[in-house]
Amino acid sequence: MEEVAIIADSKGKGFEFAKGVYEYLKNKGEGFSVRLIDIERTKFKDGEVKIRIGSNIRNAKCFLIHDSNKDPYEWFTELVFKLEAMNFSSPEEINVILPYTKFARQDRKDESRVSVNAKALADVISLYATRGMTVDLHNPQMQEYFSIPFDNLYSFISLVNYLKKNHPDIFQDLVVVSPDLGGGKRAEYLVKKLLNIGVKADVAFGYKTREKENEVARTVIIGEVKDKNCLIIDDIIDTGNTMIKTAEKLREIGAKKIFAYGTHGLFTGGTERFKIFDRVLVSDTLKAPETGNLEIVSLVKLFGEAIYRTVIGKSLSVLFGDNEDISKDCEI
């Protein structure tokens, strides 16, 4: 029987996510066995670390679910060392699962003498891994930097299912709002997914001018939002300044309910200012802070189903809602 190993750090904040993926695969369990394997870490007095895979993974299909909650530099360093340790352990495959891909925003050379961090990350992963997987990359074109197959999942199917179950009223007179023009394709993609379930939504855009980094000076809304329910979407909520300014403008114009969804909730500026939203939705790729109007859209089943399909050699296109229906036993 084929053996699958889910490798994760039991001491990390992201372990519950990895454990959930493991449980999903264990319940599927068709034609393969699955184990959850811990990462052992020895830390020396000078700050250096030694990484060891906790159990034998020889000839196993390995899926490293790397904890996204770490400091970016610790995240990158430990990722390299984990891959090195796995490479010396003679697995059949090394699959890297990055719930949130750090350094993806530095994806191009926009001025002289700068590092293209996204490419450096892709180069390192490609040295060790058989394939990789993430969700809602900041720039999907980053996939081209990898010399291995690297799947970028989309979380919208999970978002739509969550809203259907918990907030169906938001679909009435809905406008999907991109907080900037650059996110227009993301908004249009969600509108297309909504149409597949019979929900017709319009699109609106925020246009912003900046005077300083992370500081929005002025926001203009392009599109009809008066007396509409609005869902502002983005891939990352960092400080949230752009989303908040967009919400303030929507309130000023006369929008009804205002929801926000960001796949990866960093909340580097805290959550206090997000009270302007009726609901703030984020996924569980990062450990979210607890606050009154914050809700979690779990992507455990999305990743679990993607890994399952990778193991058995089945297409991932169903996870984009394009080619076939997803049965209830694997609803994501």
How many residues make up the chain in this entry? 332
Name which of 291, 309, 285 is nearest 102 in CA terms: 285
CB crowding 308-326: b at 16 or more within 10 Å, else e: bbbbeeeeeebbebeeeee
φ, ψ at 56 (rounded to 5°): -65, 130
Which amino acids are annotated catalytic?
208
Question: What span, in angstroms and rounded, lies between the C-alpha atoms of 223 and 250?
Answer: 11
Question: What span, in angstroms and rounded, lies between the C-alpha atoms of 266 and 2?
Answer: 37
296 - beta bridge partners?
A: 282
